[in-house]
Structure 1
Amino acid sequence: MWKPPQKIQFQADPGPSPTEAEAAGSLLFSPIRHGCFALETRTWIPAMVPWRATNEGEVTRDVLDWYEAMAKGRPGGLVLEATGIRDVPSGPLLRIGHDRFIPGLKELSSRVREASNGETKLFIQLIDFLAIKRRPDKEKFIRRFLAVTDDLRSRIGGSEWPDDKVRDHLLEMPDEDLDAVLDERTRESLRMGYRERVTDMDLPHIADLPTVLPDLFALAAQRAKAADIDGVELHYAHAYTMASFLSAKNTREDGYGGSRENRVRLPLEVFRAVRDAVGEDYPVGCRFLADECIDGGGTVEDAAYFGTEFARAGMDFLSTSRGGKFDDAKQPGVGQAAYPYTGRSGYECMPQYISDAFGPFGRNIEPTAAVRDAVRAAGFETPVIVTGGIHGFRQAEDILQAGKADVIGSARQALADPVWFRKVRLGRGNEVRVCEYTNYCEGLDQKHKMVTCKLWDRIDLEPDTPRTPDGKRRTIAPAWEE
């Protein structure tokens, strides 16, 4: 069982800040344009999950406040949280699976435009996900949900036993013996909670995904355009449906699994459906993994191939991440769901200040550079966005100057100080609240609580500032005056 490294404690040191003149002459604060994809600066806030929508997926005041605060830093691009393309319950996460969501998203896009003085382009991350259930109570699972098969009877030496006797016997067995007689998927459902996979071809709704998803993504993209959102980012990363099609673990035998060419087939079909729906003049890109970081998973070489195919198909930008898979997640407690950022792949996605010798900062830079190199070698100029522990001007500028990426994404640092890009650009980098990478925010996300940052979570505000029922503030971070 993988355990987080407990070797070295690192402190985030952004290095010396530029003067306003130095910032103005930098690549980081220069514009970029590729077809219809255009940013005022090469700065980017990738999608985060603030847990501020209603349980019906509607935009709330809290959602508006969150993105307004991010927009005040005037990043070149700002990506809305992973937004569900189906009209199904998914908790306090944004959804776009019906036209009724358009007015709220339109208000949100207007708020971002106003807060950034029109400098920030707003993108929305569109996501599909398969079913995952909470880890069940052992007795309830065995009494109510376990399928008693002839094979299971033979494994426990009770070929003639009735179902109730089989269940009684299983409940009396020590856990290690019970695990030995259950098949792999049943054992996982008991110990981790049931989780659907794209390879569950016996389930009609899984087998039909290639016929369903292109239209769902296309309709969602049309709604995003109707809501005045500036572009779409297709979520092909982490533990979700489209990433699972790209995964080396996708063994579907219907032409959508196995070889790289087959695994990229549905992501390309989804993109083409979206492109047909929104037109050539509307930016559409994707976020995908530069490395799955799991045993038997996709590699950097896979990512380089996929990135090249995405560029060949005409995507307007490519944004990379790494890890964040269910495959190596830590066992959840009874009544809780597995969380895909608790194993080694999760650590690679969001490394902490306690790290191995490589440190927590910029672990995705070289894999992303390999993807970009492959895209360029194939003759495409598609902008590549890198993210992952990038928290200072010097580091960001060095990446751009070395040609390892074209745009710099910063999530946790933007949460620590939503206006940090603006402060640096004005030569006031010494005022930046620097992320400490303790992953306080990730701990809240894991519990499905409103995400905040430890650096400002308990700062006193004006007495009339609205707060949540647990006493926490509704707004994000203290105000900053230019």
Structure 2
Amino acid sequence: MWRPPERIQFEAKLGHVPSREEAARARLFSPVAIGPVTLTQRTWIPAMVPWRATEDGFVTDDVIEWYARFARGRPGAIVVEATGIRDVPSGPLMRIGHERYIPGLRKLVDAVREASHGETRLFIQLIDFLSIRRRPDRAKYLERFLTITDAHRQALGEPALPEAEVRTRLTALPPAELAKVLTERELEALDFGYRERVTDMHLAHIRDLPQTLPGLFADASARAQQAGFDGVELHYAHAYTMASFLSRKNTRTDGYGGARENRLRLPLEVYEAVRARVGADFAVGCRFLADECIDGGSDVDDARFFGLAFAKAGMDFLSTSRGGKFDDAKQPGVGGAAYPYTGRSGYECMPQYISDARGPFGRNIAATAAIRSDIRAAGLGTPVVCAGGVHNFDMAEKMLADETCDIVGAARQSLADPDWFRKIALGRGGEVRLCEFTNYCEGLDQKHKTVTCQLWDKLDLDAPGVAKTADGKRRLTPPDWQ
């Protein structure tokens, strides 16, 4: 069958296919300790949000099937998707903000244990996020949502103008003139949707985050422990609350912003609260950014400082990512929400194939290696996880040989072929279904639609080896691994 040259070139990226005996001797398939937990191999599936939970954040049969499917490939570890620590509505995003979520999470843990024959360790990623609203219709925003102030009246030259008339005047202004009346944040709310920041100190709940978040994370971690997880991954990355505290853009003046030491203060206090609650027999680590990849944001030097501090504090593992910020996200359509993976920082987090000279492969390697080097130079052995375009044995093994990291993470490749680690371990690496890094899955995530992979989503449901989940979505039935 004819294949285009670019497809042949891509398939060459399958790399060396080790024999079963060679794989058994490889670093990738050697054990590694993560605090109180030992992985049977150094393979790691990072958190991915598949949008399969209920609107109330409960585990569903489809959630369980999603993780059981990855577990059948027997990776060293799976990190369950970003799970909200607050008991607040958040759409079909999993939550752990109340005891009522524990039974469903326990079923998930049991399913992974059974599917992996007890080989895969299971962590859950805990996340906090601030309020963000969809981009409003211009007329509705000006007529209903905008809070009218004396500054608006002054800008219009009418200090005593009634509120209703102010709104009428603003609605009639062309965009260029309106921009002279509204503040920068008001224009952002109009053009992108309202978004809270950790620097919004005029809001009591934002001001009180240093007092509330340690307890919320500790409570959520205790629930994860009750549900049977092996550990938690504190989400200190991307566009969320804890990453915002670490960011150079955090200018809080209450001791939790500004200098690196101050920006690090709350993440360490959260970790200390979690550790005090769950004890030493439960693994606690974090995912954080090796580079924010935004103008004025934190860079690799900051990440090295943070990583060493986390290791010294006693975290059991560190997992690096990059980018994925709201700061440079593209403008959403009216009625849509800003998505933090649409700008340059988002691209750095999930780059595509045939998009630039580097493509998606290993963009986070140099920064992660620098972080790990500092930790080792300090005499600490904290395991470091690195992901980013990992797709074959050669790349993964080289990352370990070069001491870039201690554990290799692969998200999109694992979605393309949940058995790829297992296939390589059995000497069947030539059968691996390679991710094409087109970000079909990311496009679904952006729309909060059930995430699948383009390589198997459109398969004939009547074909051998294909079955449906409860909601009619496609999935591949795995082979009976020996």
Report the TM-score range of the alignment, normalised by the length of the smaller protein: over 0.9
Between the aligned partners of 2:35 and 2:206, the Cα distance in structure 1 is 36
Q: CA deviation at 1:434?
A: 0.4
What amino acid is the match of 1:393? F
Matches within 5 A, 1:388-407: 388-407=388-407
Q: Secondary structure at the match of 1:83?
A: strand
Question: Does residue 285 of the first structure (1) align with residue 295 of the second (2)?
Answer: no
Aligned partner of 2:10 in structure 1 is 11
Query: Which residue number in structure 1 is paired with residue 53 of structure 2?
Result: 53
Q: How does 1:84-163 map to 2 (within 5 A)?
A: 84-163=84-163
CA deviations 1:291-338 (Å, max 9, x no partner) are 000000000000000000000000000000000000000101111110
CA distance in 1, matches of 2:168, 2:329: 30
Q: Counterparts in 2 of 1:294-309, with a 5 A limit?
A: 294-309=294-309
In 1, are the aligned partners of 2:328 and 2:340 still within 8 Å (CA)? yes
1:3 alignment partner in structure 2:
none
C-alpha contact (below 8 Å) 1:14/1:395 kept by paired residues: no
- Structure 2 gap ranges (5+): 1-5
Deviation at 1:121, TM superposition (A): 0.2
Partner of 2:3: none
Counterparts of residues 289-438 of structure 1 (less than 5 Å):
289-438=289-438
Secondary structure at the residue paired with 2:453? coil
TM superposition score normalised by structure 2 = 0.95
Question: What secondary structure, in the 3-state scheme, does the structure 2 residue paired with 1:455 have?
Answer: helix
How far 1:379 sits from its partner (Å)?
1.7
Give the helix-richer structure, 1 or 2.
2
Structure 2 letter corresponding to 1:269: E
Distance 1:150 1:189 in 2: 19
Match of 1:214 in 2: 214
Residues 402-431 of structure 1, C-alpha deviations (whole Å, 9 max, x = no match): 111110000000000111100011010111
- Structure 1 length as normaliser, TM-score? 0.95
1:173-204 CA deviation, whole Å, 9 max, x = no partner? Answer: 22232223211110000000000111111110
Distance 1:477 1:363 in 2: 30
How far is the alpha carbon of 1:33 from its aligned partner? 1.6
Q: Distance in 1 between matches of 2:171 and 2:56?
A: 39
Residue type matched to 1:345 in 2? Answer: S
Question: Does residue 193 of structure 2 align to residue 193 of structure 1?
Answer: yes
Structure 1 SS opposite 2:358: coil
The SS at the match of 2:94 is coil
Deviation, structure 1 residue 34: 4.5
For the residue of structure 1 that corresponds to 2:357, the secondary structure is coil
Q: Which secondary structure state, in structure 2, belongs to the residue aligned with residue 284 of structure 1? A: strand
Give 1:125 shift.
0.3
SS of the equivalent of 1:264 reads helix
Judge conservation of contact 2:461–2:468 (CA < 8 Å) in 1: no
**1: CA distance between counterparts of 2:318 and 2:446?**
27
- Secondary structure at 2:112's aligned position in 1? helix
State the match for 1:268 in structure 2: 268
Q: Is the 8 A contact 1:53 1:60 kept in 2?
A: yes
In structure 2, give the amino acid aligned to 1:477.
L
Deviates more, 1:219-228 or 1:165-174: 165-174
CA contact (8 A) 1:69 1:418 kept: yes
Return the offset for 1:462: 4.5
Deviation of 1:101 (Å): 0.8
Query: Which digits, 9 at most, give the CA deviation of each residue in 1:248-270, with x for residues without a partner?
Result: 10001110000110001000000
Amino acid of the residue matched to residue 458 of structure 2? Answer: R
- The aligned counterpart of 1:44 is 44
Contact 1:18 1:424 in 2 (8 A): yes
Alpha-carbon separation, structure 2, partners of 1:243 and 1:29: 32
Q: Is the 8 A contact 1:30 1:41 kept in 2?
A: yes
Instruction: Provide Cα deviations, 1:66-110, integer angstroms capped at 9, x if missing partner.
Output: 000000111111000001111111111111111111111111111
- Structure 1 SS opposite 2:476: coil
Looking at structure 1, the residues matched to 479 and 428 of structure 2 have their Cα atoms a distance apart, in angstroms, of 12
- 2:315 aligns to what SS in structure 1? coil
Q: Is the 8 A contact 2:467 2:477 kept in 1?
A: no
1:472 and 1:279 mapped to 2: Cα distance?
40
Change (3 A) 1:41 1:417: same
**Cross-structure match for 2:448:** 448
CA distance in 1, matches of 2:321, 2:97: 25
Q: Is the 8 A contact 1:287 1:319 kept in 2?
A: yes
Letter in 2 for 1:156: L
SS of the aligned residue for 2:52 comes to coil
Q: Deviations over 1:378-400 (max 9, x none)?
A: 22110000011111110010010
Name the residue aligned to 2:32. Answer: 32
Q: Tell me: CA distance 1:108–1:467, structure 2 relative to 1, closer, same or farther (3 Å).
A: closer
Q: Which runs of 5+ in 1 are unaligned?
A: 1-7
Equivalent in the alignment of 1:477: 476
| Separation in structure 2 between the aligned mates of residue 187 and residue 468 of structure 1, nearest angstrom | 44
Q: Distance in 2 between matches of 1:67 and 1:34?
A: 21
| 3-state SS in 1 of match to 2:29 | coil
Kindly indicate whether residue 252 of structure 2 is the aligned counterpart of residue 252 of structure 1. yes
Find the aligned partners of 1:17 and 1:356 in 2 and give their Cα distance: 27
Separation (CA, whole Å) in 1 of partners of 2:469 and 2:278: 39
Which structure ranks higher in relative contact order (CA pairs < 8 Å, sequence separation ≥ 6)? 1
Report the counterpart of residue 64 of structure 2 in structure 1.
64
Q: Which residue of 2 aligns with 1:4?
A: none
**Residues matched between the structures, number:** 472
Q: Compute the displacement of 1:468 (Å).
A: 6.6
Deviation at 1:17, TM superposition (A): 1.3
1:355 Cα shift? 1.8
Equivalent position amino acid for 1:386 in 2: C
C-alpha contact 2:14 2:430 (8 A) present in aligned 1:
no
Moved over 6 A (4+): none
Paired letter, 1:257: G
User: Does the CA-based 8 Å contact 2:87-2:95 persist in structure 1?
Assistant: yes
Partner SS state of residue 205, structure 2: helix
User: For residues 313 and 253 of structure 2, what CA distance do their matches in structure 1 show?
Assistant: 24
* Residues 11 and 353 in structure 1, CA contact (< 8 A), matched pair in contact too: no
1:5 corresponds in structure 2 to none
- The answer for the alignment partner of 2:238 in structure 1 is 238
Is the CA contact (8 Å cut-off) linking 1:79 and 1:125 kept in structure 2?
yes
Residue aligned with 2:455, SS:
coil
AA in 1 matched with 2:196 = E
